[in-house]
Amino acid sequence: MKLLKLFLLILTFQFINYAAKAQAISYYPFNSQLSIATNPTKVVWMDFRFQMNSFTSSLNTEPALMVNLGYTKNAFIYAGGGVNFGIVASIVDNQDVVKGYFGSVGMRAYPFEKAPKVSVNFELSPYVNYDGTSGVFRAWLGVGYHFGGKK
């Protein structure tokens, strides 16, 4: 089990390294989530979310694979899914590494003509615990900045 935890910790640092080459960053203030994404205007992209308002042992990391379903002039619709990891909690409190799984359907809109790289993000995300005993329907509303500009 310790080898698995070490592997997941290394994998998390690799995700963070990959995310450091981010093309977009978003913040969801009502949920205190920071999102770092690869280029979200590509057909397939990765999103890495980090919980910001918690004790160290409760910090969650959510890598997700997203697929763009359609584009308009100022927005795009996407769907995907991922895994919720509690890596710090697994090391500190000997909890399970995998906390749960989620799906996502969302939209990133670029409504500001004077600031075309700023987005307003909205996402619906059903979440289920790793053992399937409970779940929650999450909604995210936030703002983002796309360093590469919009498509």
Question: Per-residue pLDDT averaged across 92-113, rounded?
Answer: 87
The four Cα atoms 85, 87, 93, 99 give a dihedral, to 10 degrees, of 10
Q: What is the pLDDT of residue 126?
A: 95
Mean pLDDT of the chain: 83
Kindly state the percentage of the chain with pLDDT values over 90: 45
Q: What is the pLDDT of residue 150?
A: 47
Question: Per-residue pLDDT averaged across 113-125, rounded?
Answer: 94
- Of the pLDDT bands very low, low, confident and very high (cuts 50, 70, 90), residue 10 is low
Question: Per-residue pLDDT averaged across 27-56, rounded?
Answer: 86
Residue whose token pair is 């409970």: 134
Q: What is the pLDDT of residue 61?
A: 85
**Does residue 54 or residue 141 have the better pLDDT?**
141
Q: Give the whole-angstrom CA distance, residue 37 versus residue 44.
A: 11
User: Which residues are CB-neighbours of 123 under 8 A, at least 6 positions away?
Assistant: 104, 105, 106, 107, 139, 140
Q: What is the pLDDT of residue 16?
A: 58
Q: What is the pLDDT of residue 18?
A: 57
User: pLDDT digits over 45-72, tens only?
Assistant: 999 988 877 665 567 888 999 999 999 9
Q: Give the whole-angstrom CA distance, residue 82 versus residue 36.
A: 14
Q: Phi and psi (nearest 5°) for 48?
A: -120, 120
Q: How many H-runs (helices) and E-runs (strands) does the chain carry?
A: 2, 8
Q: What's the residue count for the chain? A: 151
